[in-house]
Every structure is written in C-alpha cells, then in structure tokens.
Chain A
Amino acid sequence: MMYYSRLRLLGVAGICLIGVLLCLPNFLRSPSPSLPWRQIHLGLDLRGGSYLLLQLDLKSLEHDRLQSLQDQARQTLLDRSLGYRDFARDDASASLSFMPRSDAERDAALKAMQSLPPVVPNEFTTSEKDGRIVLTLQHDAMLARAREAVAQSIEIVRRRIDATGAIDPSIAREGDDRIVVELPGVSDPERIKSLLGTTARLTFRLLAPNPSVASPGSTMLEDESVHTQVAVQDHVDVDGTDLTNAGAVIDQQSGGWAVTFQLNSAGATAFANVTRANVGKRFAIVLDNKVIEAPNIISPITAGNGQITGGFDARSASDLALLLRAGALPAPLSVVEQRTIGPSLGAASIHAGIISLLTGLLLVIAFMVLFYGRFGLYADIALFANLILMVAILSLFQATLTLPGMAGMLLTLGMAVDANILINERIREEVKRGRGPLQALQAGFDRATGTIIDSNATAFLAHVMLFVFGTGPVRNFALTITIGIVTTLFTTLLLSRLLVVRWYALARPKELPV
C-alpha cells in the first residue's frame, strides 16, 4: 500500500478535478445552454416558499363511484326488463343493494349485475343476502382507483398552478392518496390553496318537477344566487368534461362579470336535446354540489356555448374560468399540512447555515493542525476535498439542500477526520513500538482501515434507515450524511493516504512527525 501506481494517482486526482468541475455550476452562470449545468436546488426553508400536502378524499371517490354504479345498475335492469324495489346505497359499507321483483328474476338480476363493466379489475363483488342482491366496492380496487385519481389530479393541479404564474413549482405523488406541492417564492399560498381546494365539477341538470321538496332521484342543493334550497335531479344532462374552453367576460346586459363556456360536439348535442325538450323549465348550473344559478330555458340552445352569471367579481370569474379550463379534479383534495417560509427567514437561514459551516470547518482544521501536525494538515486538505465532492454529488443529482441538510454536511466534516485520527494514532503507536517510518506508516494504514470501515458501516446503515423511514427535513439530513460517508471513505482511504505517501517518497524522513 506504500506504492501508488501512476494510474491510481491520476485516478484520485481526476476524481477531485471532476468534483471541482461539478461544483462550478453552483457559482457560475451557464456559458452556453447546450452544456449540462446541474445545480443544487435550495430547499424551501432556505429559499422561502410554500409547501402543501394535499389529501385526496377517498370517501368522495367511493361515493361518486357508488352513484354511477347505481345509475348503471338501474339502466341495465331496465334494459333487460327486470324489476326491482328498494334500491339502497350505503356509503359506510361502500355497497348497493336492491330487492328483485320476484324470486324468479333473482338469478337474471344477479347475472345482469355481474355483467356490469368494472372500471378497474375486481372493482366490486356481487352477492345475495336475505333475498337482496348486494354489490360491494372492494377496498384494494378503490386504492387502485385512488392512485389513478392522484395521477389525474397531479396533471390538473399542475395546470391550475401554472395558470397562476407560480415559478418552478414541484408537484409529486406521496403514498397512495396524497400529493406534495412545493411552491418556491410563494409566501402567501391562499389563492393557490383555494384553487386547489375546489373540485370544479360543473354539471347541468334539470330541477325536480317540484323544486321545493326532495323526491326520489333528486337532491336538495343550496342555490347560491338566492340562498335557498332547491331540489335538483341527480341525473346529469351535460357534464363539465365536455367543456372545451371557458373565459371571464363582462355581461353585456347586467354589466357584471360572467363566465362563458364552449362545449365540444357531444356536449353541444346533449345540451341542444335537453334544452329543446324542456323549454320553459329551469335548468340548474351546478358547481361542486352548489347551484350557481338555475335560469329558465327560454329557447333551445344549439350552438354549444353559454354564459354563467352568478354574482361574480373579476377575480372569482377569472378563477372559475381557469378552473373550468384546467378541468375538474376526480375527487376533492384537502390540505392536510402546509408550511410557509417567508423570504427574509430563508435568507437568514442561508446566512446562518453558511456561517456555521465555515466556522465549524475552520475549528476542525485548526484542531487537526494543532493536534496532528503535518498529517493533520493533510487531513485538512482531504477534508476540503470531501466538502467539494459532497457538493459535486449533490449537484450531479440536482438534489435539494435544506437547513438540516447543511447540518448533515457539517457533521460529516466533523466525523470525516475520525478516519484520519484513527490512522494517525495507529501510526504513532507503531512508531512507539519501535518500527521504522515505512513500516509504521504501512501498519498504521492497514490496521486502521478495518476499524474505519466498521465504524462507517454502522453509521451508513443507521442513516440509510433514517432516509427510508424519514420524512421531509429528516430525509435531506440523512441523504447528505449518507453521501458524506461515501466521500469520506474516498478522501481518507485514498486521498489523504496519497498525500502522506507522496510526502514520504519525496522527503524520505528518518522519523515521522507524529
């Protein structure tokens, strides 16, 4: 181990050089857009910004699916002229059940239910209980649906956030039913929260024949334009998914704000059919289970466009248009965790982090020189290389650096010299035992290596666990330490040893400075 081949020398020097090059993008502007210019991202705690954790409402997803399944089931029974009574929906057990008209039709009804197309495989089971036919949604299938819904929601959330002009947002899935949104530089996330908190499911439905009482097949909903409850039919005539465009305009007649919309051809046809058949009746425009307005149908609307006037102001009209353009969420999202860091606190944290890092580095460097002399100085050079390599690897992965991450780097630097201390103490012992300089160096390096690997392996394992099970700030901390352990092994086992060996080869000292 006392002889370093030229190849090895070049290898170590090359890695250090690559490290320096990889660090550069963090300090310089990219000279050309074609160069890969990878930088460390600053975390929200250093940069200022907002973090939102959104939870998809599984219950509502289940509820919606039960409702559509009920519609399908009724239609199928009707198509096959099978009778039923007492059709019940139970959200708590996620099931539907009904009584067939007669025992004779039971098997046929059961078969009809089994023929219903599932949205995901094994979505529901059909069974018989006390003469009733029961359809039950399966939890695993609903989780699969939730994952799908989260994927769709991420797209819609992204479109909504992009429309607000937020810079560099990051939107990612977490677990089965959650979405993490990070908004750098947004210190007041209220508008985005309200945009994301709106499902924006727009439907057009007829009012029940008697709008003042609920009847089967209709639900009482709040009419926001007059603040009363009206009965609206459950059957959806036209759905917002058929919307192709929406915009905020000033209404020519009233002078107030309104939202115009344009339907695709399927939507336009449906709209034309309903309005033609129901002239004189009231047609409700329902957004997220609230009636915005329910105007009378004066004449059939066949062009597939329309206007919603519901007491909007400029802001609410443009927000609704934005939401309609971006599309409805498959299920409501609610914020379960939010963290906002103001820009001044972020700047103060960077400052505190850098001051601590530099002071810590200086203290450790001074300690090593005072307690370990020349070899301590070599350890310090290795320490500096260690810092550069850590920054290089973080840049290469375009990792995010947070304040706990900076603490991790600092602690790595404190721990990194441990390996050098172990080697030095070992060399010193060998010298005391009367070995010559070369043998002492050799024995010191060789014997300390096992100890170094043992002690770093335990720290490595502990921090990998922390990374796997940790969340948020803890993960970042664990990540920098884990990377730090790898760079430490390189810089102490290869670089600082190389420095000592080169020095020995050049100086040929009679005694070692330990």
Chain B
Amino acid sequence: MLSRPLFRFVRDDRRINFMRGRHMGLIVSAVLSIASVILFFQPGLKLGLDFRGGIIVEAQTPGPADFGKLRAALDHAGIHPDAVQAFGSPRDVRISINAPEGADREAQTQKLVDGVKSAISAAEPGTQVLRADAVGASVSSELFRDGLLALGFSLAMILIYIWVRFEREFAISAVVTLILDLTKTVGFLAITRFEFDLVMVAALLTILGYSTNDKVVVYDRIRENLRKYRTMPLRELLDLSINETLNRTLGTSMTVFLAALPLALFGGSTLTGFATVMLFGIVVGTSSSIFIAAPLLLLMGEKRLRKEVAAD
C-alpha cells in the first residue's frame, strides 16, 4: 500500500552549507541580471500585437501554403505586410503588419485587416481565417501603460505586505531578490524572442507571486528560528532555515513546474510562450530563494537582526 512516501529530494539530516557559496551566488545573479538589462535595451523585447499595435491575420489554406502567391495577392491589393510566415503546419500562414503611420492610422488599421482577409481568400479559395486581430496605436499604448501599472502596483503591494509582516531587512531583501528574478526573466524573453504581450505580463506577475510565496516560507522559518535559537550566529541560522525548508521549497517548485509543463508542451500558440517563461521563472525563483534571498539578508542584517533579537 502506498502509505509511506517513496521518494525525498534531500535526506532530512543533510545540512548543506549554502552560505559558503553566497558571494558566488550573488555575483552570478548580478552578472546575469546586468546582462539581462543590456539585452532589454539591445536587442530589446519583441513586442506583441497588444503593445505594438498593428495587424495579425492567421489563416489556414486548403493545401500547403504558397507564400509567393499570397505575397503577390497582398501586393496586388496594395498591402505591404511586414511578415508572411509559416507557423505550425505547412498550411498555416501568419501575416503581420505594423501599425500604419499618419493621421487616420486608427481607421487604416481597421480597414487593413479586412483587406488582408479578402486578398488571401481571393488568392486561395477555401482559406479559413483562424484569427484576425487589429489593435490601434492608441489602444496599444494604453494597454502597455496598464500592464506596467499592474506590475508596479503588485511589486509595491508585496513590499508593503512583507514590511508589515516581517522586518525592514526582510522586505528590502525580498524586493531586491524579486527585481533580480524579474530582470532575468526579461532577459530570457529578449533571448528567446517570445512576444511580450498582455499574457506575458500575467506570466511575469505570476512568477513574481510565486517567487514571493517561496521567499515568505523561507523567511517565515528564519523568523521562527531567530526566536528559537537566540545565540546562534545569523549565518548558521540562515543555513539551518534553508535546509529545514529545502524539501518543501523543491517540492512546491516541482508541483508548479509539473502543472506548467503540459501547457508549454500542448498549450497551443497562445500559451506555449507563457508557460515556457513560467517554467524559467520557477527555476529562477526557486534558486533565488536559496542562493540570493537569504545571503542578502545576511549581508544587510548581520548586526541588526541578531542584536535586536538578543535585546528582546
């Protein structure tokens, strides 16, 4: 009978000296984050339709798609797409056009989408339009602003919550760690060229929420141990706390990872990017809970946290 657990990640009595590698961890993390920030500016993120504005039409032709013919048909209709590419099967075509310039660009954008649809169905009768999206320039800039606002407010709420529930050192280390996590994820987005759109903002926020959750659990244990072992040096105490929560940290990461994995594999074009970024974020979030969040606390609070508790 499956009564007792069959597997463990680490033996309960294993004590890994994480703090010994703290400088290494912080340096690696800082380097990766700086590289990510550079990648953010050059080559930058590939903005999705939501934030860039413009048109995407995805269609499925009855036979293998003849790109030359489709391009010619669009050209004939006076439409100059920025990209006509295959995606998925050889019958699937994606046509994308950036937002037109000029005074009546809003109206132009909306007209173009109908033009593209009729041009391709005239060129390839029996073509099915899978998706046709047109986002005007004013809407896309609003969506972008709202997305960043959501991100900013969430970060602020997390900071406030941890500040209220823990001490200042905890809140600052947590937010610094989160920013390091976030920049790496942005770097990952820049490298993989996944489109940065509204759904990606949701992915970033979920990573943020998940990573915070992880940090809160470790910090919770540190706080408890600070009360319990009043004379233990902070460094030892942090190591103990990380080790005590290690099975939990790895276990939860594993379940979230397992839940997101099928999405990355079979989620379809909308969710693959989202889920892949989630998977990356889970790995980064978990490792930063172990290698970054606690060392930062040691760096910031070596004197203060210990003294305060001793003075209680």
Binding site for B on A (CB under 8 A): 45, 53, 55, 187-188, 190, 193, 334-342, 344-345, 348-349, 352-353, 355-357, 359-361, 363-364, 367-374, 376-377, 403-404, 407, 410-411, 413-415, 417-418, 421-422, 425, 428-429, 432, 450-451, 454-459, 461-463, 465-466, 468-474, 477-478, 481, 513-514
A407 engages B267 (CB within 8 Å): yes
The interface residues of chain A lying within 8 Å CB-to-CB of B262 are: 355-357, 359-360, 363, 410
Measured CA separation A372–B138 after assembly (Å): 52
> Could you show 13 A-B contacts with beta carbons less than 8 Å apart?
A55-B138, A187-B129, A193-B110, A335-B110, A349-B270, A370-B5, A371-B6, A410-B263, A429-B244, A450-B220, A458-B213, A466-B150, A514-B4
A364 engages B258 (CB within 8 Å): yes
| A425 CB, nearest partner CB in chain B, Å | 5
Known contacts A337-B136, A342-B131, A411-B259; A473/B252 CB under 8 A: no
Measured CA separation A471–B8 after assembly (Å): 42
Interface centre among A411, A513, A514 (most CB of B within 10 A): A411
Measured CA separation A481–B263 after assembly (Å): 16
Question: What are the 9 A-B residue pairs with the smallest beta carbon separation, nearest first?
Answer: A414-B259, A469-B150, A359-B262, A414-B256, A352-B268, A363-B258, A336-B136, A356-B262, A462-B209
Measured CA separation A352–B32 after assembly (Å): 34
**B33-41, B139-147, B229-237 - the one binding chain A:** B139-147
B198 engages A458 (CB within 8 Å): no
| A97 CB, nearest partner CB in chain B, Å | 27
Within 8 A of A (CB), among B240-269: 244-245, 247-248, 251-252, 254-263, 265-268
Known contacts A450-B220, A469-B150; A340/B132 CB under 8 A: yes
B113 engages A342 (CB within 8 Å): no
Measured CA separation A335–B55 after assembly (Å): 13
Measured CA separation A47–B221 after assembly (Å): 46
Would you call B72 an interface residue if the criterion is a C-beta within 8 Å of the partner chain's C-beta atoms? no
Would you call B206 an interface residue if the criterion is a C-beta within 8 Å of the partner chain's C-beta atoms? yes
B165 engages A415 (CB within 8 Å): no
Q: Interface majority SS on B: helix, strand, loop or mixed? A: helix
Would you call B161 an interface residue if the criterion is a C-beta within 8 Å of the partner chain's C-beta atoms? yes
The answer, among A55, A334, A407, A481, for a CB contact under 8 Å with B275, is A407
A458 engages B158 (CB within 8 Å): yes
B198 engages A370 (CB within 8 Å): no
Binding site for A on B (CB under 8 A): 2-9, 12, 58, 60, 106-107, 110, 113-114, 117, 128-136, 138-139, 143, 146-147, 149-150, 153-154, 157-158, 161-162, 165, 198-199, 201-202, 205-206, 208-210, 212-214, 216-217, 220-221, 244-245, 247-248, 251-252, 254-263, 265-268, 270-271, 274-275, 278
Q: How many A-B residue pairs have CB under 8 A?
A: 255
The answer, among B110, B138, B212, B221, for a CB contact under 8 Å with A338, is B110
The interface residues of chain A lying within 8 Å CB-to-CB of B252 are: 415, 417-418, 421
Known contacts A356-B263, A425-B248, A466-B205; A458/B216 CB under 8 A: yes
Measured CA separation A349–B128 after assembly (Å): 16
The answer, among B60, B132, B154, B221, for a CB contact under 8 Å with A466, is B154
B199 engages A458 (CB within 8 Å): no
Known contacts A356-B271, A415-B256; A473/B106 CB under 8 A: no
Known contacts A370-B6, A415-B210; A404/B153 CB under 8 A: no
A469 engages B3 (CB within 8 Å): no
The interface residues of chain A lying within 8 Å CB-to-CB of B257 are: 414
The answer, among A368, A451, A465, for a CB contact under 8 Å with B255, is A368
Interface centre among B158, B201, B216, B256 (most CB of A within 10 A): B256
B198 engages A352 (CB within 8 Å): no
Nearest B residue (CB) for A467 = B150
A372 engages B110 (CB within 8 Å): no
Q: Interface majority SS on A: helix, strand, loop or mixed? A: helix
A411 engages B271 (CB within 8 Å): no
B216 engages A337 (CB within 8 Å): no
Nearest A residue (CB) for B220 = A451
A410 engages B260 (CB within 8 Å): yes
The answer, among A359, A418, A451, for a CB contact under 8 Å with B266, is A359
| B249 CB, nearest partner CB in chain A, Å | 9
Known contacts A349-B270, A454-B165; A465/B216 CB under 8 A: no
A428 engages B12 (CB within 8 Å): yes
A372 engages B5 (CB within 8 Å): yes
B199 engages A474 (CB within 8 Å): yes
| A240 CB, nearest partner CB in chain B, Å | 24
The interface residues of chain A lying within 8 Å CB-to-CB of B162 are: 458
Known contacts A371-B8, A461-B161; A340/B133 CB under 8 A: yes
B158 engages A421 (CB within 8 Å): no
Interface centre among A418, A450, A473, A474 (most CB of B within 10 A): A474
The interface residues of chain A lying within 8 Å CB-to-CB of B161 are: 457-458, 461
The interface residues of chain B lying within 8 Å CB-to-CB of A414 are: 255-260
The interface residues of chain B lying within 8 Å CB-to-CB of A353 are: 267-268, 271
The interface residues of chain A lying within 8 Å CB-to-CB of B271 are: 352-353, 356, 403-404, 407
The interface residues of chain B lying within 8 Å CB-to-CB of A337 are: 134-136, 139
Measured CA separation A334–B138 after assembly (Å): 12
B268 engages A403 (CB within 8 Å): yes
Known contacts A458-B161, A462-B212; A470/B146 CB under 8 A: yes
B198 engages A473 (CB within 8 Å): yes
A474 engages B274 (CB within 8 Å): no
The interface residues of chain B lying within 8 Å CB-to-CB of A417 are: 252, 255
The interface residues of chain B lying within 8 Å CB-to-CB of A473 are: 198-199, 202
A342 engages B7 (CB within 8 Å): no
Known contacts A352-B268, A367-B254; A466/B202 CB under 8 A: yes
Interface centre among B4, B153, B248, B266 (most CB of A within 10 A): B248
A336 engages B130 (CB within 8 Å): no
The interface residues of chain B lying within 8 Å CB-to-CB of A466 are: 150, 154, 202, 205
| A220 CB, nearest partner CB in chain B, Å | 21
| A41 CB, nearest partner CB in chain B, Å | 18
The interface residues of chain B lying within 8 Å CB-to-CB of A348 are: 268
Measured CA separation A450–B136 after assembly (Å): 47
Measured CA separation A407–B214 after assembly (Å): 20
The interface residues of chain B lying within 8 Å CB-to-CB of A193 are: 110, 114
The interface residues of chain A lying within 8 Å CB-to-CB of B158 are: 458, 461-462
